[in-house]
Amino acid sequence: MVSPTRNAVVRLLRELFFIHPQNSCQPSHIEPLLSIYGGTLLESDRTLFSIFHLFEVHKKLSCASVLSTWSSSGDIGSTDASGAVLSLDAGKVFRTCLSFPRELKFDLGHEYMDKVELQEELYDPLFLNLLFARVVSGNSPSSALSWVQFFRTNIVCVVIRSLSSKDDAFRELAICNLSGLWKLLEARKRERSISLQFVDFSFSSRSTCKKNPMSSTS
């Protein structure tokens, strides 16, 4: 259970940021907030998320770039969005999928009104979708093992579940994410196919040389 003190302090931070956004919305001011952001539906986390959005508006930079260095551990940041996704609690991500808040809007000012204990047990689906978007737009896993670990986080389940959102913008984001994922997987499939063709060609060439040894010296 989050203490009222945390909520009060985070609300105060929000007021300070919103009073002078031109001065407060600096990377050096935003980065420390990542260590206390849990990525959940708690009021304090949603308030912090609104500060990240304020940074996005005033700096003309996607807040996804800021969130890419987030880590669930809080003490050690991630190097990219893939690392941030791999740091997620797979169990909590799966609970988010099972108890997906369909009423949640693609609006950082929208409050998720449900049981407080449930808010703490669920990730913010908007946060997960933004992380996912960052991954498919340029920070995708680089190896087959990395892809397996990526899918094991269950984040793809949440993106698919987001298609059931009652908010049009939320569904559009999910569709774009799934489209990006499909393109990445298709690209890897083509790469694998080319690699297999090359290996097959290499073995075929070696077999031909063994059968016709003079052909390699002629």
Please state whether 115 falls in left (phi above 0), alpha (psi between -120 and 50) or beta.
beta
Confidence of residue 168 (pLDDT cuts 50, 70, 90): very high
Whether 198 has a pLDDT exceeding 50, the answer reads no
Distance from C-alpha of 77 to C-alpha of 73, rounded to nearest angstrom: 8
Confidence of residue 213 (pLDDT cuts 50, 70, 90): low
DSSP letters for 103-115: T--S-TT----S-
Structure tokens at 95: 């609970």
At 101-146, the pLDDT tens digits run: 888 888 765 555 555 557 888 999 999 999 999 999 887 888 888 8
Whether 194 has a pLDDT exceeding 60, the answer reads no
